[in-house]
Amino acid sequence: MKRRTFLTAGAAALAGSVLPAHSARAGKARGRVVVVGGGFGGATAAKYVKLLAPEVEVTLVEQNREYHTCPFSNLVLGGELPLSGVRHGYGALSSRYGVRVVHSAAAQVGEGKVVLADGSEVAFDRALVSPGIDFHFDKMPGYSAALAEKIPHAWKAGAQTALLRRQLEAMPDGGTAVILPPANPFRCPPGPYERAGMFAHYFKKAKPRAKVLILDAKEKFSKQPLFEEGWALHYGEMIEWRSAEAGGKAEALDAKTMTVETEFGEEKADVINYIPPQRAGQIAHDSGLTEGDWCPVNTITFESTLRPGVHVIGDSCVAAKMPKSGFSANSQGKAAAAAIVRALSGEEPIAPSFANTCYSFVTPSHGISVAAVYRSDGKAIQSVEGAGGVSPKEAGADFRRREADYARGWYRAITADMFY
């Protein structure tokens, strides 16, 4: 891709989701909206419903008092950021935007009401659900939900991130950290490979004889040529990637002996980071919003095709070709907010455009990215031809440093858009 096209796409993507200007005209909207899940999708949607239609009562039901972003959590693992660097609160959503924030787990989205864990209910005219992912803990022999305390996934940020970081710190020099990425689809396609780079970045400084071994359930991965080029440049032989066919597919784990069994033999590890296969957040399953693992939606309004009046966005919904990313969830949050406000005003929905850029760090000063713009054709979300692309190969150190700076700018902008 030519650099100029790339920069143009990046700028469009940074502007966030592209709402048609007239979608903001919704002064007549009245009603009650309940949002379940205050992450990338839900926090954005709650705020934007209030921005578009201040008279609408918005309640955000979020089980945690603080939110840790997965974006930039790999930098925490690499020792570049404290965990507090990815922590955000909900204060401004209530004090500045008038969202009523209820810290409780939601048990179910019922007919016209969300039932909370303590049995109380919050009534709605429209609900929006953005609960992120839950895991299939039972697909790998030898693994279980309880074993996540010994073999962390760190695929939800917070305590799991801190645990994995402590394990890396305790690992001996000369030890091996094994990462086991899942098959598609999963949250953040480039995430495991950015993580490998951040492990190596830390090892290079603290344990130069250590190794990162990626045993993959796939044959290829996102931004692969750029990651491989960067790994070779900065880390030499420290990172090894094995595709499923080349013996990467793990068949069992043994947490006692810290061994990964593959078709080709056993790999002994000091740290194992197994990222289990994923599915929509549990509440989506408990509320009749899923078909198989994920939630089918109308790709213009994000209204569930199974439950009228309930919208699902973010990782839980089927929005391919958009990847399951924070940027996608944020972009969908704005589109769904506009659709909800228009529905409450009795107006027809307007087809939005969506944007996504996934930045990844190879080192803290070597960034790479993939950007795209999307539109729904009414049935599915399609990439817009000619918009977007990936960072060029063989770019110089200055270019890579600028992309790392853009990544930091993106993080500041998107978290401000969600929480502040």
Residues that bind ligand FAD (CB under 6 A): 36-42, 61-64, 67, 70-71, 73-74, 105-106, 130-132, 155, 187-188, 191, 281, 283, 314-316, 324-327, 329, 358-359
The least distance separating ligand FAD from the CB of residue 315, rounded to whole angstroms, comes to: 4
| Distance (Å, whole) CA 77 – CA 10 | 27
Task: Report the alpha-carbon distance of residue 94 to residue 333 in Å, rounded.
Answer: 18
Task: Give the nearest distance from C-beta 293 to ligand FAD in angstroms.
Answer: 14
CA-based nearest residue to 124, from 133, 132, 114: 114
Q: Between residues 191 and 352, which has the closer beta carbon with respect to ligand FAD?
A: 191
Residue 369, strand partner residues: 359
Reduced DSSP (H G I as helix, E B as strand, rest coil) percent helix, strand, coil of the chain, to 5: 35, 30, 40
Output 70 or 262, the one with its CB closest to ligand FAD.
70
The residue type of 309 is G
Based on CB atoms, which residue is closest to ligand FAD, 160 or 262?
160
Q: How far is CA 399 from the centre of its chain?
A: 25
Distance CA 284, CA 287 (A): 5
Other CB atoms closer than 10 Å to residue 405's CB: what's the count?
A: 12
What are 348's two structure tokens?
Answer: 């027809």
> Taking the complex as a whole, how short is the minimal distance between the CB of residue 140 and ligand FAD, in angstroms?
18
Angle value at C-alpha 374, between 371 and 375, nearest 5 degrees: 170
Q: Which is nearer to ligand FAD, 262 or 363 (CB)?
A: 363
Residue 43 vs 210, nearer CB to ligand FAD = 43
CB-nearer residue toward ligand FAD: 270 or 315: 315
Q: How many CB atoms lie within 10 A of CB 33?
A: 26
Q: Where are the alpha helices (DSSP H) in 152-245?
A: 159-170, 191-206, 224-235
CB 354 within 8 A of CB 388: no
What is the C-alpha separation between 94 and 98, in angstroms, rounded? 5
Q: How far is the CB of 397 from ligand FAD (least distance, A)?
A: 21
Q: Which is nearer to ligand FAD, 197 or 314 (CB)?
A: 314
- Single-letter residue type at 137: F
Q: Cβ-closest residue to ligand FAD? A: 39
Q: Residue 109 region, left (φ>0) first, then alpha (ψ -120 to 50), else beta?
A: beta
Nearer to ligand FAD, 192 or 262 (CB): 192
For residue 342, the minimal CB distance to ligand FAD (Å) is 22
Question: Could you tell me the smallest distance in angstroms from the CB atom of residue 56 to ligand FAD?
Answer: 20
The span from the CA of 30 to the CA of 47, in Å, is: 16
**Cβ neighbours of 11 (radius 10 Å):** 12
Closest to ligand FAD by CB, 47 vs 187, is 187
Residue 59: CB minimum distance to ligand FAD, A: 12
Supply the minimum distance, in Å, between the C-beta of residue 165 and ligand FAD: 12
Residue 411 beta carbon to ligand FAD: minimum distance, rounded to whole angstroms: 8
